[in-house]
A and B are shown apart, each in its own frame.
Chain A
């Protein structure tokens, strides 16, 4: 199946600092989705990107889909303690393949 990698695996930031996680695929993706999993919870859908070069924003979160549709990024501006969790990307069209996840810790 498709390989979807994410970096970094772990990230610790001071509250107020920015955070970025990167998602890379070995093949071209039709769509990319992003999910957030709070500690002890299950992954919850954040957003889907479909178009090459697409950029979408949700408050302090900015999502990008690469021009070649093989990579994506999630950037959080001025992190807060509520941002703590693991962020997963998932690429595909019909069947989606989840990335390895980035675990974010925010230090107050």
Chain B
């Protein structure tokens, strides 16, 4: 596709349920980031994938959060046993290493 695609665009889930957020990066981009952004706040780094290297998971806030990137392309961010404080926009971004970072529109997660 022309840009970074994320799905779902909006998700409302009950506290305690698991959610999966999907990211389709720009074709050929080797680097993929996940960020979390609460309303009016900055970008909270979650995880970084680069090619076949081990991902940088240093930003994942707890063991309820995990992410995979299959075949160096599509990535899934999974949040288990969701809590209300997980409500935020989850932004995915991709780039060629060291170049412009392109963001998706985000997945807006609301935990009720």
Contact = CB atoms under 8 A, between A and B. Distances in A.
Interface of A: 1, 30-31, 33, 35, 42-45, 48, 86, 88, 90, 92-101, 103
B78 interface: no
Nearest to A10: B40
Interface in B20-64: 31, 35, 40, 42-43, 45, 48, 50, 56, 58-59
A44 B40 CA distance: 17
B42 A88 contact: yes
B43 A45 contact: no
Main secondary structure of the interface of B (DSSP, over half): loop
Interface of A is mostly: strand
Given A42-B104, A88-B42, A95 B35 contact: no
B35 A1 contact: no
Given A33-B101, A94-B50, A95-B31, A42 B42 contact: no
Closest 5 CB pairs of A and B: A42-B103, A101-B42, A45-B100, A98-B43, A100-B42
Contacts of B59: 1
Contacts of A95: 31, 48, 50, 56
A1 B56 contact: yes
Given A1-B59, A96-B95, A96-B101, 4 more contacts: A33-B101, A42-B104, A43-B101, A93-B98
B42 A94 contact: no
Nearest to B56: A95
A1 B45 contact: yes
B67 interface: no
8 contacts: A1-B45, A31-B98, A42-B91, A45-B100, A88-B43, A96-B95, A98-B42, A101-B43
Interface centre among A1, A35, A98, A100 (most CB of B within 10 A): A98
